[in-house]
Chains A and B, each alone.
Chain A
Amino acid sequence: MSNRKSKNNNLMHAECLSQVQRILRARFCHQNPHSNLFGVQVQYKHLIELLKRTAIHGESNSVLIIGPRGSGKTMLINHALKELMEIGEASENILQVHLNGLLQINDKIALKEITRQLNLENAVGDKVFGSFAENLSFLLEALKKGDRTNSCPVIFILDEFDLFAHHKNQTLLYNLFDISQTAQTPVSVIGLTCRLDILELLEKRVKSRFSHRQIHLMNSFGFPQYVKIFKEQLSLPAEFPDKVFAEKWNENVQMLALNRVTASHPFVTPADLMEANQLCSMDSKANIVHGLSVLEICLIIAMKHLNDIYEEEPFNFQMVYNEFQKFIQRKAHSVYNFEKPVVMKAFEHLQQLELIKPIERTSVNSQREYQLMKLLLDNTQIMNALQKYPNCPTDVRQWATSSLSWL
Chain B
Amino acid sequence: MKTEAQSNKVNLKLFKDLSAAKKNPSDCQSSTGPMAYYLTRLKTRQTYSWVGKPLLDQKLHYQTYKEICVKIDGCSDIHIQVGQFVLIEGDDEENPYVAKLIELFEDDGEPRSKKRARVQWFVRFCEIPVCKRHLLGRKPAEQELFWYDYPACDSNVSAETIIGPVQVVALAPDEVLPMDLKNEKTFFVKLSWNEKSFKPLSPELFAELDKPKEGSPKCQKPIEAKTKGVESPSSATTEQVVKRIELRHSASKSRQTPRAVTPTARKRLELGSVPGMANTRNSQQPSCDSLGSPGRTKKKVASSEVTLPSKRSHPDRMDTASPTLRGPQKTGKVQLICTQGENNKASYERHRNLRTRVPPLRSTEISDKRTLCPVGGGQKSSTVPSVILKPENIKKREAKEPEALNEASSTSHRVRRRSSLLTLNRIRQQLRFLDNGKCDQEEEEFLPTAEISVSSSDSEQEEVATPPLTRRAPRSVSRNLRSTLKLSLEIPSKTPQKTPKPRTPFRATPQIRSRKLAAPGPSNVLEEARLRLHVSTVPESLPCREQEFQDIYSFVESKLLDHTGGCMYISGVPGTGKTATVHEVIRGLQQAALTNDVPPFQYVEVNGMKLTEPHQVYVQILEKLTGQKATANHAAELLAKRFRTQGSSRETTVLLVDELDLLWTQKQDVMYNLFDWPTHKEARLVVLTIANTMDLPERIMMNRVSSRLGLTRMSFQPYTHSQLQQILASRLKHLKAFEDDAIQLVARKVAALSGDARRCLDICRRATEICEFSQQKPGSPGLVTVAHLMEALDEMFSSSYITAIRNSSVLEQGFLRAILAEFRRSGLEEATFQQIYSQHVALCRMEGLPYPTMSETMAVCSRLGSCRLLLVESSRNDLLLRVRLNVSQDDVLYALKEE
Chain A interface residues toward B at CB < 8 A = 45, 49, 56-60, 66, 68-69, 89, 92-96, 107-108, 118-125, 129-130, 132-143, 145-146, 148-154, 169, 171, 174-175, 178, 180-185, 194-197, 204-205, 207-209, 211-214, 216, 218-220, 281-286, 354, 357, 374, 376-378, 380-381
For B535, the chain A residues whose CB sits under 8 A away are 181-182
Further 12 A-B residue pairs, CB within 8 A, beyond A118-B386, A122-B510: A57-B519, A119-B390, A121-B475, A129-B419, A133-B619, A151-B513, A181-B535, A196-B867, A204-B574, A208-B756, A376-B878, A380-B841
Query: B231 contacts the other chain (Cβ, under 8 Å)?
Result: no
- Whether B385 contacts A96 by the Cβ 8 Å rule is yes
- Whether A57 contacts B515 by the Cβ 8 Å rule is no
- Whether A214 contacts B807 by the Cβ 8 Å rule is no
Q: A68 to B515, alpha carbons, bound, how many Å?
A: 36
Measured between C-beta atoms, what is the minimum distance from B78 to chain A in Å? 41
Query: B611 contacts the other chain (Cβ, under 8 Å)?
Result: yes
Measured between C-beta atoms, what is the minimum distance from B834 to chain A in Å? 6
Q: A93 to B386, alpha carbons, bound, how many Å?
A: 11
- Whether A175 contacts B852 by the Cβ 8 Å rule is no
- Whether A212 contacts B762 by the Cβ 8 Å rule is yes
- Whether B796 contacts A181 by the Cβ 8 Å rule is no
For B519, the chain A residues whose CB sits under 8 A away are 56-58, 148-149
Query: B837 contacts the other chain (Cβ, under 8 Å)?
Result: yes
Q: A118-B387, A149-B518 are in contact. Are A60 and B536 (CB under 8 A)?
A: yes
- Whether A142 contacts B807 by the Cβ 8 Å rule is no
- Whether B391 contacts A378 by the Cβ 8 Å rule is no
A-B contact pairs, 18 of them (CB 8 A): A56-B520, A57-B520, A58-B515, A119-B387, A119-B390, A124-B394, A129-B478, A137-B610, A138-B474, A146-B511, A148-B519, A175-B610, A184-B536, A195-B868, A204-B574, A208-B756, A285-B855, A376-B878
- Whether B390 contacts A124 by the Cβ 8 Å rule is yes
Q: A1 to B551, alpha carbons, bound, how many Å?
A: 68
Q: Which of B395, B612, B838 contacts A107 (CB 8 A)?
A: B612
Q: Which of B391, B616, B796, B856 contacts A213 (CB 8 A)?
A: B796
- Whether B868 contacts A145 by the Cβ 8 Å rule is no
* Chain B 860-889 interface mask (CB, 8 Å, partner A; 1/0): 000100111100000001111000001000
Query: B613 contacts the other chain (Cβ, under 8 Å)?
Result: yes
- Interchain residue pairs A-B with the least CB separation, the first 9: A138-B474, A208-B574, A218-B807, A142-B510, A283-B853, A119-B386, A220-B807, A129-B477, A134-B474
* Chain B 666-695 interface mask (CB, 8 Å, partner A; 1/0): 000000000000000000000000001000
Q: Which residue of B lies closest to A162 (CB)?
A: B868
Q: Which of B508, B530, B807 contacts A59 (CB 8 A)?
A: B530
Q: A138 to B759, alpha carbons, bound, how many Å?
A: 30
Q: A141 to B659, alpha carbons, bound, how many Å?
A: 19
> Could you say which of B83-91, B179-187, B234-242, B798-806 contacts chain A?
B798-806
Query: B382 contacts the other chain (Cβ, under 8 Å)?
Result: yes
For B394, the chain A residues whose CB sits under 8 A away are 124-125
Q: Which of B808, B834, B855 contacts A284 (CB 8 A)?
A: B855
Measured between C-beta atoms, what is the minimum distance from A80 to chain B in Å? 16
For B868, the chain A residues whose CB sits under 8 A away are 195-197
Q: A142-B510, A196-B801, A204-B692 are in contact. Are A92 and B609 (CB under 8 A)?
A: no
- Whether A66 contacts B534 by the Cβ 8 Å rule is no
Count of interface residues, chain B, beta-carbon cutoff 8 Å: 95
Cβ < 8 Å to A, chain B residues 17-58 = none
Query: B445 contacts the other chain (Cβ, under 8 Å)?
Result: no
- Whether A152 contacts B869 by the Cβ 8 Å rule is no
Which one of A196, A284, A285, A357 has the highest number of Cβ atoms from chain B below 10 Å of its Cβ?
A196
For B853, the chain A residues whose CB sits under 8 A away are 281-283, 286
Q: A120 to B477, alpha carbons, bound, how many Å?
A: 13
For A143, the chain B residues whose CB sits under 8 A away are 512
For B527, the chain A residues whose CB sits under 8 A away are 57
Q: A57 to B619, alpha carbons, bound, how many Å?
A: 36
Query: B590 contacts the other chain (Cβ, under 8 Å)?
Result: no
Measured between C-beta atoms, what is the minimum distance from B609 to chain A in Å? 4
- Whether B512 contacts A154 by the Cβ 8 Å rule is yes
- Whether A196 contacts B478 by the Cβ 8 Å rule is no
Cβ < 8 Å to A, chain B residues 355-389 = 375, 382, 385-388
For A378, the chain B residues whose CB sits under 8 A away are 834, 837-838, 854, 879
Measured between C-beta atoms, what is the minimum distance from B687 to chain A in Å? 20
Query: B476 contacts the other chain (Cβ, under 8 Å)?
Result: yes
Q: A131 to B758, alpha carbons, bound, how many Å?
A: 33
Query: B288 contacts the other chain (Cβ, under 8 Å)?
Result: no
Chain B interface residues toward A at CB < 8 A = 375, 382, 385-388, 390-392, 394-395, 419, 472-478, 481, 507-520, 522, 527, 530-531, 534-538, 573-575, 609-613, 616, 619-620, 659, 662, 692, 756, 758-759, 762-763, 765-766, 769, 773, 795-797, 800-801, 803-804, 806-808, 834, 837-838, 841, 852-856, 863, 866-869, 877-880, 886
- Whether A354 contacts B517 by the Cβ 8 Å rule is no
Q: A197 to B868, alpha carbons, bound, how many Å?
A: 7
Q: Which residue of B lies closest to A127 (CB)?
A: B418
Measured between C-beta atoms, what is the minimum distance from A314 to chain B in Å? 10
For B531, the chain A residues whose CB sits under 8 A away are 59
Q: Which of B477, B854, B886 contacts A197 (CB 8 A)?
A: B886
Q: Which of A123, A140, A183 contacts B537 (CB 8 A)?
A: A183
Q: Which of A140, A185, A219 contacts B610 (CB 8 A)?
A: A140
Measured between C-beta atoms, what is the minimum distance from A369 to chain B in Å? 22
Q: Which of A135, A153, A208, A285 contacts B758 (CB 8 A)?
A: A208
Q: A148 to B866, alpha carbons, bound, how many Å?
A: 38
- Whether B385 contacts A124 by the Cβ 8 Å rule is no
- Whether B762 contacts A93 by the Cβ 8 Å rule is no
Q: A205-B692, A376-B880 are in contact. Are A196 and B804 (CB under 8 A)?
A: yes
Q: A157 to B374, alpha carbons, bound, how many Å?
A: 29
For B834, the chain A residues whose CB sits under 8 A away are 378
Measured between C-beta atoms, what is the minimum distance from B689 to chain A in Å? 15
Q: Which of A136, A213, A218, A357 contacts B880 (CB 8 A)?
A: A357
Q: A180 to B527, alpha carbons, bound, how many Å?
A: 18
Q: A73 to B537, alpha carbons, bound, how many Å?
A: 31
Q: Which residue of A lies closest to B507 (CB)?
A: A121
For B510, the chain A residues whose CB sits under 8 A away are 120-122, 138-139, 141-142, 145
For B692, the chain A residues whose CB sits under 8 A away are 204-205
- Whether A121 contacts B375 by the Cβ 8 Å rule is yes
For B515, the chain A residues whose CB sits under 8 A away are 58, 93, 150-153
- Whether B474 contacts A137 by the Cβ 8 Å rule is yes
Q: Which residue of B lies closest to A280 (CB)?
A: B856
- Whether B388 contacts A183 by the Cβ 8 Å rule is no
- Whether A282 contacts B796 by the Cβ 8 Å rule is no
For A108, the chain B residues whose CB sits under 8 A away are 612
Q: A57-B519, A118-B387, A357-B878 are in contact. Are A209 and B758 (CB under 8 A)?
A: yes
For A182, the chain B residues whose CB sits under 8 A away are 535-536
- Whether A205 contacts B659 by the Cβ 8 Å rule is yes
Q: Which residue of B lies closest to A62 (CB)?
A: B762
- Whether B612 contacts A132 by the Cβ 8 Å rule is yes
- Whether B856 contacts A281 by the Cβ 8 Å rule is yes
For A151, the chain B residues whose CB sits under 8 A away are 512-515
For B477, the chain A residues whose CB sits under 8 A away are 122, 129-130
Q: A119-B386, A119-B387, A214-B800 are in contact. Are A376 and B478 (CB under 8 A)?
A: no
Q: Which residue of B lies closest to A85 (CB)?
A: B385
Q: A217 to B527, alpha carbons, bound, how many Å?
A: 27
Q: A120 to B392, alpha carbons, bound, how many Å?
A: 14
For A142, the chain B residues whose CB sits under 8 A away are 510-512
Q: A148 to B530, alpha carbons, bound, how many Å?
A: 14
- Whether A121 contacts B879 by the Cβ 8 Å rule is no
For A137, the chain B residues whose CB sits under 8 A away are 473-474, 610, 620
Q: Which of B395, B517, B530 contacts A92 (CB 8 A)?
A: B517
Q: A202 to B524, alpha carbons, bound, how many Å?
A: 35
- Whether A219 contacts B807 by the Cβ 8 Å rule is yes
- Whether B509 contacts A145 by the Cβ 8 Å rule is yes
Q: Which residue of B lies closest to A175 (CB)?
A: B610
Q: A55 to B477, alpha carbons, bound, how many Å?
A: 33
- Whether A123 contacts B841 by the Cβ 8 Å rule is no
